[in-house]
Structure formats: structure tokens, C-alpha cells
Amino acid sequence: MTDPQSAADKVAGNLSKTAKTELIRVYIKEVYDREKDITTKQMTKGIVNEEQGIAMLGAYTKQELSKNQERYSNEWVTGHPDILTQKMVYDTKLSYDLWTFLPNVTEPIDKGYLLQLQGYMWLTGRKKGAVAYVLTDCPQNIIEREKMYLLKRMDVISEESPEYIEAAAGLEINLIYPDIPLNEKILIIPVEYDEEIVEKIKAKVEKCREYLQEFSEKHLNFNKII
């Protein structure tokens, strides 16, 4: 959905370079069943702590919340919403640490998150949704891995070195938050269903399909063309 740089391309509703790069990734996955495995510590925390984040959100909102197990699809989009209530869609985002969590207090909602939530509302028929940023404690295995990286960077004699022990303790304090009240570890940003955004998604999906068709034909006939 990112706009292209050219004004003419914007008016025409054409795809950006970023979108084309992503579509080539999709092409590789669909045609050759190959996918780059990109896993970060942030992604790992989000997967491991997903249920914990949902439980924290439920405790804060005083609702019985659980992970939605159903994937939804229509002619244009597909998606697996995190949480569905009778009237709401919640999309939980687990921040890695305080330094990535607190900027959400003043920063505008991430455009990708907004579009994702619009898609979920469209698919499920809800008119209200919310992005919920949740600050959970970092899983112990990630903390231990971070300590290992710290040990290598410090180049000390051993794990018993006083300077390492102090630095490792500080690292752990920065990744766990039992001293912070629950209400300060939840940020809920409400989002209303927007039909105009949905129509833009439809149009952009059609552009994506056209691009993939053109790309496939060019790829399969490339040497003939040359």
C-alpha cells in the first residue's frame, strides 16, 4: 500500500518499488516453494509470549479473551485475527522492551498495523477494532542468549568477572517488568472500520495481480525477449 515516488504513478494507483520487491518474494514462494527464513529476537518474543499478552490484555479490559483459531478469507485478502469479541477485533503487538513500547504513546499508529486491522474488520464484519501494544517480560531463553552475546562483546575472562555480572544483571532488569503496574504495560489504540481504505486495498490488490502476471510472463520468456 506504500505510495510510489512518482506523482504520475501515485495518480495512476501504481505500485511502489517496495511493493514490487514484496511481490517477487511472494512469486518465489508460490512458484518455487522457497521462502527466506528471517527470524529476529523480536519475532521470537512475539510468538512465545502471545498467550501471555492476550491474558494481560484480558485482565486489563476485564474480559475473557482467547486466541482466535480461525483464518478468514475473501476475494482480495486473507488474515488470522488475534482476538475476536462479539463486536471487536483486537490485534496484539508485543513490544520487545520499554524503549520500543513507550514511543507508541505519542507516535501515530503504524500504517501497516492500521491496514492489517482494517483487513481483519473487513473479513469478520466488525466495525470496531484496536491495536493493543503489550509489554511482557522477555522469555528466559532470549535473556540467556542476550547474556551470551554480552559476554562475547565484553571479552572478559569468564562469567564470574564482576564487570560482566553487573552488566548481565542490568541487561535482565531492562527485559523484565514485574515492578511496572499492568495498566502501564498496555496501550490500546481504537480503530474504526473505514470503507474508503478497504476500497483502496481492493484496487491495490488488482494492481498486484496485474504486476505478478506481467512479471511471470516476462520471467518465463525473458531469454526469448533478449
Picking from 129, 98, 135, 107, the residue whose alpha carbon sits closest to that of residue 197 is 129
| pLDDT attached to residue 90 | 97
Q: 470503507: which residue's cell? A: 195
For 151-192, write each residue's pLDDT tens digit. Answer: 888 888 778 888 898 999 999 999 999 999 999 999 999 999
Query: CATH no. for residue 63?
Result: 3.90.320.10
Q: 479490559: which residue's cell? A: 61
Which amino acid does the sequence have at 11?
V
* Residue 211 maps to a domain: no
CA distance 16 to 172: 41
Provide the sign of the torsion angle of the four alpha carbons 201, 206, 209, 210, taken in this order: negative
* Residue 108 maps to a domain: yes
* Residue 125 maps to a domain: yes
Bridge partners (DSSP) listed for residue 90: 83, 130
Assign 14 a pLDDT band (cuts: 50, 70, 90).
Answer: confident
Q: Residues 106, 25: contact at Cβ < 8 Å?
A: no
Helix ranges restricted to H, the chain: 7-12, 17-32, 41-48, 50-61, 98-101, 111-124, 140-154, 162-173, 195-220, 222-225
For 83-122, write each residue's pLDDT tens digit. Answer: 999 999 999 999 999 999 999 999 999 999 999 999 999 9
* Residue 98 maps to a domain: yes
* Residue 219 maps to a domain: no
- Neighbouring residues of 137: CB distance < 8 A, sequence distance ≥ 6: 49, 175, 176, 177, 178
CA distance 81 to 65: 13
**Residue 189 belongs to what domain range?**
40-137+177-196
pLDDT exceeds cutoff 80 at 225: no
| pLDDT attached to residue 9 | 81
* Residue 203 maps to a domain: no
* Residue 10 maps to a domain: no
Query: For the purposes of burial, counting CB atoms within 10 Å of the CB of 54, is it exposed (0-12), middle (13-18) or buried (19 or more)?
Result: buried
Bridge partners (DSSP) listed for residue 2: none
Q: What cell was used for 93?
A: 503487538
152-166, 188-202, 205-219: which range is least confident on average? 152-166
* Residue 93 maps to a domain: yes
- For the chain, the domain total comes to 1
| pLDDT attached to residue 226 | 59
Q: What distances in angstroms separate CA 158 from CA 63, 75, 104, 154, 172, one per listed residue?
A: 48, 58, 39, 10, 18
SS3 88: strand
